[in-house]
Structure 1
């Protein structure tokens, strides 16, 4: 979002195009209906602060064996001896 250079209200991008890999040209219009100025901006990348992290293959988790049941016979019949 840019501000209108005339009335200082916000302006919305109407259309844009890439001039190169790192440079974009945009046409904006003021949202103030009494101003409605239209202007062009140029946006560019001038420095990369932090590049993306290198993708690493996830290490497979060791196969876990099921834990032995600690509670036994809780579903048995009350009539069994």
Structure 2
């Protein structure tokens, strides 16, 4: 929200468009019915205070081996030759 430059009341954005990657043009309209001024502003990125930190992804963990339904020699008698 911006203040109207004429009556200092609230002015809401009606529409906007990007002029470049870092500059946006906005069209405002005063909410005061007696004024109803319309004007446009330019919003731009002036300075980056902190850029995002690149997250390091942990190494993928290999999946645990799946148990099969049968184990070799499970049902064999240890006394059988």
Matched residue, 1:78: none
Q: What aligned pairs does 1:12-23 form with structure 2 within 5 A after superposition?
A: 12-23=12-23
Question: 1:58 & 1:9 partners in 2: Cα distance?
Answer: 52
Q: Give the number of aligned pairs.
A: 60
Measured after TM superposition, the shift of residue 25 of structure 1 is 0.3
Q: Which segments of structure 1 move beyond 6 Å, counting only runs of 4 or more? A: none
In the other structure, the counterpart of 2:43 is 43
Give me the whole-angstrom Cα distance separating, in 2, the residues matched to 1:5 and 1:37: 9
Structure 1 or 2, whichever has the larger Rg, is 2
> Structure 1 residues 35 and 53 mapped into 2: Cα distance closer, same or farther (>3 Å)?
same
| Distance in 2 separating the partners of 1:11 and 1:58 | 48
CA–CA separation in structure 2 for the residues paired with 1:41 and 1:58: 45
Q: Which runs of 5+ in 1 are unaligned?
A: 61-81
Deviation, 1:57, is 1.5
Task: Tell me the secondary structure at the aligned position of residue 48 of structure 1.
Answer: coil
Task: Describe the SS at the equivalent of 1:35.
Answer: coil
Q: What are the within-5 Å matches in structure 2 for residues 19-38 of structure 1? A: 19-38=19-38
Q: Which TM-score applies when normalising by structure 1?
A: 0.69
